[in-house]
Structure 1
Amino acid sequence: MSKVPELFGSMVFNDSVMRERLPKDIYRALRRTINEGTALDPAVADVVAAAMKDWAVGKGATHFTHWFQPMTGITAEKHDAFLSPCGDGSVIMDFSGKELIKGESDASSFPSGGLRATFEARGYTAWDPTSYAFIKDDTLCIPTAFCSYHGEILDKKTPLLRSMDAVSREAIRVLRLFGKDVRRVTSTVGAEQEYFLINKEDYGKRADLILTGRTLFGAPAPKGQEMEDHYYGSIRPRVKAFMAELDEELWKLGICSKTEHNEVAPCQHEMAPLFTTANLATDQNQLSMEIMKKVANKHGFVCLLHEKPFEGVNGSGKHNNWSLSTDTGENLLDPGKTPMDNAQFLLFLTAVIKAVDDYQDLLRISVASAGNDHRLGANEAPPAIVSVYVGDELEQVVDALVSGGAHDKAVDAAMDIGVTALPPIPLDNSDRNRTSPFAFTGNKFEFRMPGSSFNIACTNVMLNTAVAMVLREFADELEDAPVFDTALSALIRRELAAHRRILFNGNGYGTDWPIEAQRRGLLNLRTTPEALERYDDPKNVALFAAMGIYTLEEIRSRQEIIQEDYSKTILIEARTALDLLRQQILPACMAYSKQVAEGVAVKQSIGIPAPEESALVRSLTEETGLLFQRAAELESSLTALPSGAAPRAEYCAQAVLPAMEAARAVADRLEGMVSHDFWPFPTYRDLLFYI
């Protein structure tokens, strides 16, 4: 590990490798494609493909794949060997520009939300040159977009790239009004990844974890997270060994894994990379989740990425740190030392605030899933209500601008903690608010609502597109203004006043916040089905059409895909719960009850009353009978499923999920009554507190 600089990016066909291996004119042509989006000449592609193949083969690769991100939310790949027959029974290692640029895949087996019929099988993958190729498991992986034979987009990468182009285009228009000559504005992202590690042996004994990713049953352990001793605590040697190997594997792939620590819940941890462009960050986060699972397996762990694998302790999120940067190196969300006097920053800040307020529903939709519904609003994650935290100083700036009053500029301050040996600690211009869904953290916004298993492409599509639309509106108004400064001041004041309601610096966990949010007119979309109803709202359809992101058909296909995914998830959980109840939990309860009853009978036969044991048998019998009833009610809920993606999703939320929760409540009570030796699978005490 002493040669980290040499290790870093060693498995990536990155800029330094391209500069070294490509002829200068080819390299320049490829850079123009990457930086400016110009079409790539097929002759250039042939040279790039040959250099890419030689590099990959030199690293031990034997195959290549077009690596893409279908609507399943995970990645997909089809491997082809670098083989070309010579006609004399021998082969050569070959790879053409045509193979680099375009691949073909069976599109019929991926979710399409009605865009494609089952028999319409042809799909195409198209090379995304803005995301570097890399080697994984002896295979050259070429990041690509995925579309159907007729051009319908079937993946998460294509709309992300479109949204990045949209926000760049509109931001450049605004910057020109400030006299800035930039060629590209890039949305940048750093995705903090939370996860759980549990023993592989325990995982293998729980069908619910294997089939659903979360525990469908489980009484609280005697100790949870209430002692607050796990957060930032000393990392256990086994976990540290896992983290060390994870870092090494991520660094090879050019992923800047920077921070690692214990999270709040027992067995919960976090990895945070440095930021990069939104499309690279998306690719790298997908890779990170895959590699976490592989490395965990080597260390006797299973890595759980479900948003709520354990009831009663914190779930896992993925904080999406988002900003905008120019090709000249300027961060457009950096307020500087005097934000009140930084008109450009204030305009971009206003654009983000307006975008979040106008499109609250889309941001909520971007984090909607069955798993994340368990986490949001559970006093561990932001509520389902979207709001913006800007900190005390910026809130004062906003209020001064809206009212036209004066603002006392913040002065550099330091904290004196009363220990003379310690230097003064410089104070930031605001505290952090971990209960806020969308918090300004100095020079970026941290969107805390995405779940740990999410592909962050959708979240960043929504952010980029909404901000791009607002920037377009601002540019249209300001470009026609007779006096720019006067129009700019009026626009900022007007829009901040109109969207002041979305700013909230208080406690998002507080019971009074939903009441206050309702008074302000903010949305509280508690469940995924409720949120998804708004996907094809006319204002959202108009937004995506104006920015060239989705057609109405593509919006409705995604709406249907997420609705179906929600229903399928709940139904798999319900069927798994029924299996566990009838094949493991109920037999265990009856066996234990029988043993206690037999003990009572023996004692009573020799004149010992045994009232406590008798009471336990009665309680076990009553609770077991109730659990039989709850299991029957759960099964009954599965027989009344409506047709149609939206009605089925709503039914699963309103009928199947409550039936599962009712059965769980009884089973968890029984777990506390039945001997540990009789319980059929590892308990929370076993899962969360291993050595």
Structure 2
Amino acid sequence: MAHLRFKALEELSKRSAVKVEEPAEPISSYFGVNSFDLEKMKRTLAPDTFKRVKDAIENGKKIDVDTADAIAAAVKTWAMDKGVTHYTHWFQPLTGSTAEKHDSFFDAFAGLERLKGEALIRQEPDASSFPNGGIRSTFEARGYTAWDPSSPIFIFGNTLCIPTVFVSYTSESLDYKAPLLKAIEAVDKASTRVCRYFDRNVNHVTASLGCEQEYFVIDKGLYYSRPDLVMSGRTLFGHAPARGQQLDDHYFGTIAPRVLDYMKDFEIEALKLGIPVSTRHNEVAPSQYEVAPLFEEVNKASDHNKLLQDLMDKVAERHDLKVLFHEKPFANLNGTGKHNNWSLITDQGVNLLQPSSSARENLQFLTFFVNTIKAVHEHADLLRASTASAGNDHRLGANEAPPAIISAFIGQQLTAVLDELENNGNVEVEKGDNMYMKLGIDKIPEILLDNTDRNRTSPFAFTGNKFEYRAVGGDANCAGPMAVLNVIVAEQLQQFADEVDAAIEGGKEKRLAIVDVLRRYIKESKAIRFEGDGYSDEWVVEAEKRGLPNIKTTPEALEAYISDKAVALFGKHHVLSERELHARVEILQENYINKIQIESRVMGDLAANHIIPTVVQYQNKLIQNAQGLKDLGIDNSEIVSTIEKINKHLSNLKVAITNMTNARKEVNQIEDATEKAKAYCFGIKEKYFEEIRYAVDKLELYVDNEDWPLTKYRELLFLR
């Protein structure tokens, strides 16, 4: 191992940046060239066919066989002109990654290349090995992928990729996309209903998402010199370097040449795919970076984020680099998040979370603003569950990441507006359509720019014209938390509209009815609003007083999905059935179990077969040196003291490894997935991981650098 470490470092010293040939033409000339978007459909399809496709995308209308055949023929011709030979249904199973099965355009029996509409619309991949949570037996292989026309078909390599949902033979969802599409439909209907209190011309509301993706980049050779990184995605051992992120000098600093060329390379490829990447910069931790796109419709943005991750991973290979999306690849450094910036946009182009110069529009803004906060308050446990994973448990509450307590930050100025409306405000209706609010709401336009500060410790923060959901982990699929957010907002808006309609039927003027319900919602959801430091111990105490859940582990958090309240919510909006919810929890619990089990095995293997032999060998060397000095009459107390310290940590390490191994054998006898996940969490991870790591990291300080088997943090993190 030590030999591998120094070989990797030697190779690193020889590497240089891979020169990337940037296109001479402007980005606008090649943006989306590998994406079969609406513009290309309009150019290649007959007008009637294009109209039917557009209707399917915008209104959810079904595509008939003739239309599918026409689209398939057009997309096949377009793809073959670009050298494409195969096509695949690109889907997102509950493994957390994307999946694909490639089929050739060439039909040997017909002697030509073709793509039928039926193959475009539906495919039957072997689904036996994808997680299903007991929905189906493993010996039953049938599953279906079905085309999602709202997300553009694209070319990746020499393969035409068709975004699809993935369902079982009995139609249950087996992926992340299907529930998201249903949640989007729910929030569209509920938002449109509420919008019509203010504008009768609104027919659709689109959920919008801008997803900031954080990531680490390290040298590929150093990556492969660390078995823990390869096997688990994070470093299970590693003493903090003398210089980490404490100087904050990496944040927004000059980008290292190798990394900059890598960024240029994947950005060019992303832009060709129609992914609107816009921003790049260094993050706080050494070797940590961020890429951020422009806002898109939430389903399209979610697909683009998973595609971007795949793309970044593949392009990194060309640069002898490795990109890490794990939420906490390095201890004691900032973790990796995926900040989901969410808003609602009408088909009239109005951002419903944007304050305005109009009193009527500001009432509309407050309606959606307050209802979103109320939704977060009512379903904080579900939002926490949507971010739960083995990796994110290491990140939430550590360094830059928000805590596991879900709260909403709205800033001092909007807090003052809500407080005024709650306590003193009243509304008078003037003649005509004007409404004057005696609470300063009509003065919001004076603070349109940056009407809130930024609070990096808040899991759910309002940032001027959108909410930033910061608790989502870097390796997560956006579709999971976005499905939850959209369905809870849909539910809340529906309840709001029911209450307002009832008040109007009771004789109350519409705008007064709206304000009365909002005033009550502000009071009822006040506990979820928090403007202070989410890292502080005081907040933990205060949150408990407010009755806010502080769920720190994944096994506990996931139970929110199968509460009676959640089952009723998801069922009411036809997003997930009770059977599908129970299946997902079982899948997520099993995923958690597997990841902790893998980490414990890797930890045990590295400690027992690499660390301990190295330390014993080095300790024997010290013992010989100490004896030699003693025979010569020279003071050997310093060496003896070091030997004693090594022996102490070595003994602790051996005992902890033995205990963890025995504990794992006992835990593996548990059959219930939830109980087994909790046992792995509290009986193994919480009990032994830190103890073993502490001993190993201490031994790293005592063993000679030339002998230490694992590549060190200082070598992994400062790539230039």
TM-score normalised by length of structure 1: 0.96
Q: Does 1:531 align with 2:557?
A: yes
Q: In structure 1, which of residues 651, 656, 663 is the aligned counterpart of residue 684 of structure 2?
A: 656
Mapping for residues 324-363 of structure 1, pairs under 5 Å: 324-337=344-357, 342-363=362-383
Show CA shifts across 1:329-361 (max 9, x none).
Answer: 111111124779711111111210111011001
Q: Quick one: distance in 1 between partners of 2:444 and 2:103?
A: 61
**Matching residue of 2:582:** 556
Equivalent-residue separation in structure 2 for 1:128 and 1:533 (angstroms): 30
Percent identity between the two aligned chains = 45
Bigger mean CA offset, 649-658 vs 177-186: 177-186
| 1:648-675 alpha-carbon deviations (Å, 9 max, x no partner) | 1101110110212111111111111111
**What one-letter code is carried by the residue in structure 2 that aligns with 1:684?**
Y
Residues 177-186 or 342-351, more deviating: 177-186
Partner of residue 575 from structure 1, selected from 593, 601, 621: 601
Residue in 2 aligned with 1:418?
Answer: none
CA pair 2-183 structure 1, distance change in 2 beyond 3 A = farther
**Residue 614 of structure 2 contacts residue 709 of structure 2 at CA under 8 Å; is this kept in 1?**
yes
Q: Does 1:458 align with 2:480?
A: yes
1:218–1:683 Cα contact (<8 Å) kept: yes
Write the mapping of 1:510-659 to structure 2, written as runs, cut at 5 A.
510-641=536-667, 642-657=670-685, 658-659=687-688
Query: 1:227 is matched with which residue?
Result: 247
Partner of 2:161: 141
Preserved CA contact (<8 Å) 1:627 1:667: yes
How big is the shift at 1:281? 0.7
**1:117-156 deviation line (CA, Å, top 9, x unaligned):** 1122100000000000000010000000111111111111
User: 1:246 Cα shift?
Assistant: 1.1
The one-letter amino acid paired with 1:499 is S
Aligned counterpart, 1:294: 314
Give 1:300's aligned amino acid: D
Displacement of 1:604 in angstroms is 2.0
* Alignment-derived partner of residue 258 in structure 2: 238
Q: 1:194 aligns with which of 214, 230, 245?
A: 214
**Structure 2 residue aligned with 1:407, among 439, 444, 447?**
439
Given residue 471 of structure 1, which amino acid in structure 2 is its aligned partner?
A: L
Matches within 5 A, 1:154-303: 154-303=174-323
CA distance in 1, matches of 2:358, 2:681: 48
User: In structure 2, how many angstroms separate the alpha carbons of the residues matched to 1:616 and 1:86?
Assistant: 76
Whole-angstrom CA distance in 2 between matches of 1:292 and 1:341:
41
- Which of 302, 321, 329 matches 2:341? 321
Structure 2 unaligned spans of 5+? 1-22, 426-437
What is the match of residue 46 of structure 1? 69
What secondary structure does 1:95 align onto? Answer: coil
Q: 1:8-157, aligned counterparts within 5 Å?
A: 8-86=31-109, 91-157=111-177
Q: Which one-letter code corresponds to 1:673 in the other structure?
A: Y
Q: CA deviation at 1:592?
A: 1.0
Structure 2 residue matching 1:16: 3-state secondary structure: helix
Shift of 1:107: 1.5
Is the CA contact (8 Å cut-off) linking 1:396 and 1:407 kept in structure 2? no
How far apart in 2 are the matches of 1:44 and 1:530? Answer: 48
CA shift in 2, pair 1:338/1:222, >3 Å: farther
The AA in structure 2 aligned to 1:672 is L
Q: CA deviation at 1:682?
A: 0.4
Q: CA deviation at 1:408?
A: 4.3
Shift of 1:452: 0.3
Which secondary structure state, in structure 1, belongs to the residue aligned with residue 560 of structure 2?
coil
Aligned-partner Cα distance in 2 for 1:690–1:71: 34
Q: 2:707 aligns with which of 657, 663, 678?
A: 678
**Which of the residues 437, 452, 463 maps onto 1:441?**
463
Counterpart position of 1:666: 695
User: For residues 165 and 445 of structure 2, what CA distance do their matches in structure 1 show?
Assistant: 47
Is residue 231–residue 264 contact of structure 1 (8 Å, CA) maintained in 2?
Answer: yes
The separation in 2 between residues aligned to 1:2 and 1:404, in whole angstroms, is: 61
Q: Report how far residue 178 of structure 1 moved.
A: 1.9
CA shift, 1:292, in A, is 1.0
Q: Distance in 2 between matches of 1:350 and 1:619?
A: 58
What is the CA–CA distance in structure 2 between the aligned matches of 1:339 and 1:461, rounded to whole Å?
32
1:192 deviates by 0.3
Write out per-residue CA displacement over residues 350-375 of structure 1, whole angstroms, 9 at most, x where no aligned residue: 21011101100110010000100000
C-alpha contact 1:71 1:154 (8 A) present in aligned 2:
yes
Q: Which amino acid aligns with 1:611?
A: S
* Alpha-carbon distance between aligned partners in 1 of 2:164 and 2:205, rounded to the nearest angstrom: 22
Q: Output the amino acid matched with 1:188.
A: S
Task: Give the CA deviation at 1:606.
Answer: 2.4
Q: How does 1:301-312 map to 2 (within 5 A)?
A: 301-312=321-332
Q: Determine the structure 1 residue equivalent to 2:387.
A: 367
Between the aligned partners of 1:430 and 1:307, the Cα distance in structure 2 is 27
Q: Is the 8 A contact 1:637 1:659 kept in 2?
A: no
Residues of 1 paired with 2:659 and 2:28: CA distance? 60
Tell me if structure 1 keeps the 8 A contact 2:355–2:361: no
How many residue pairs were aligned? 677
Distance 1:365 1:337 in 2: 38
Please state whether the residue corresponding to 1:186 is helix, strand or coil. Answer: strand
Alignment partners' CA distance in 1, 2:715 and 2:290: 22
* SS of alignment partner, residue 261 of structure 1: strand
Aligned partners of 2:569 and 2:664: how far apart in 1? 38
Give the partner amino acid of 1:160: L
Establish whether residue 689 from structure 1 lines up as the match of residue 718 from structure 2.
yes
| Deviation larger for 476-485 or 450-459 | 476-485
